[in-house]
Amino acid sequence: MTNTSRNTLVLASLLLVNAIGGFLMINHSQKKLEARQQDNTALQTQINSFRTLVANRDSLEIEHERQMLMASQQSKVILQRDTQVITYDYLLKILQWLGTDIIYDYALSKQENEQSYNEYVISGSSDYMDVVQFTRLLEHQRALITVEDITLAAENIAHSDTVSFSMILRTYYADEGVPATEIDYKAMARGMQSFPLFKSKIWENLPVFDENDYRLIDVELGTMLGISESRVFLRDRRGIIRILKRGDEVLWGHLWKIDHREGLAIFKLNKYGFEENFILSISYQNEERKNE
């Protein structure tokens, strides 16, 4: 083989190797490019989706608030089934949550299978506020039990808050409901406060104030001239400027609160035997003053 032929063969071999290597490199680069393009496409889709979410943020927040409101309102659940024992056990659970004991008679009044509820009647005697709290928990806890009728009567016991009571309950149920054993206590915003029904709201001994004592300003006849975070500037009926801070006495009461942002001064006055609010605002006309 001549040198020319040998060189030609070697060059051809090198050319073939380079061609194969170049093809493999191009093929690998093409695959990497396609992978990058797919990643870019996916990323662009996420960016577009994010832009849509950002553009619709206000409407999404409104929808979220609406859904949260609906969820908070849907606090009642219907029982999956009901019997005398199931309702009785639930009433015992109510008393456990209440932390007290009420003795009563309990009986099934009637069954309404077509309307899917059972009606019960309970009657007994207990402390008035225990009955109030018991009824309140029945109405506000999750199980759909309604109080259809309630009757209260005073016991013939001197100086006693005991009352006799009778109430009719309806327990509703459906196949798609929740078993009574799975119903937990629902937190309630605030408790029921007792109200002294027979206690006089008029004081036997009224606070003594001298209407002619000019050391105390009659705010009902005064005018507010200015207000700051901690001071109120008033002019009394004689034209004298008074500077008051929270807690300072006025005729029939004291300065209770200063709301400088709203321009209001709230006084607690006890002129007729019970405390009431009197509000002064910065104004140039007497009719802009408010009396609550």
Q: Which two tokens stand for residue 153?
A: 């009567």
- CATH code at 84-182: 3.30.70.60
The pLDDT value recorded for residue 4 is 75
Kindly report, residue by residue over 166-208, the tens digit of the pLDDT. 999 999 888 888 888 888 887 776 555 555 444 444 455 555 6
How do the domains of the chain map onto residue ranges? 15-73, 84-182, 219-291
Pairing type for strands 162-172 and 223-227 reads unpaired
> Residue 176 carries which side chain, given as an amino acid letter?
E
Give burial (CB, 10 Å; 0-12/13-18/19+) of 112.
exposed
> What tokens does 57 get?
């943020």
Single out the residue of 138, 153, 165, 148 nearest to residue 110, CA to CA. Answer: 148
Mean pLDDT computed over 135-162: 78
Strands 241-244 and 232-235: antiparallel
Rg of the chain's alpha carbons, rounded to an integer?
40
pTM of the model: 0.43
The conformation of residue 69, written as its DSSP 8-state character, comes to H
CA–CA separation, 105 and 87 (whole Å)? 13
Q: Residue 92: which H helix or E strand, with range?
A: helix 84-98
- Note the pLDDT of residue 157: 53
Task: Judge whether residue 218 has pLDDT over 50.
Answer: yes
Own/partner long-range contacts of 262-268 (Cβ < 8 Å, ≥24 apart) = 263/227, 264/227, 265/224, 265/227, 265/232, 265/234, 267/219
**pLDDT tens, 256-265?**
999 888 889 9
Give the mean pLDDT of 207-214. 63
Structure tokens at 292: 């609550």
- Contact between residue 131 and residue 107 where contact means Cβ atoms under 8 Å apart: no
Instruction: Identify the pLDDT of residue 199.
Output: 47
To which residue do tokens 């709290």 refer?
A: 133
Which contiguous run of DSSP H or E holds residue 254?
strand 253-259
Helix (H, G, I), strand (E, B) or coil at 274: coil
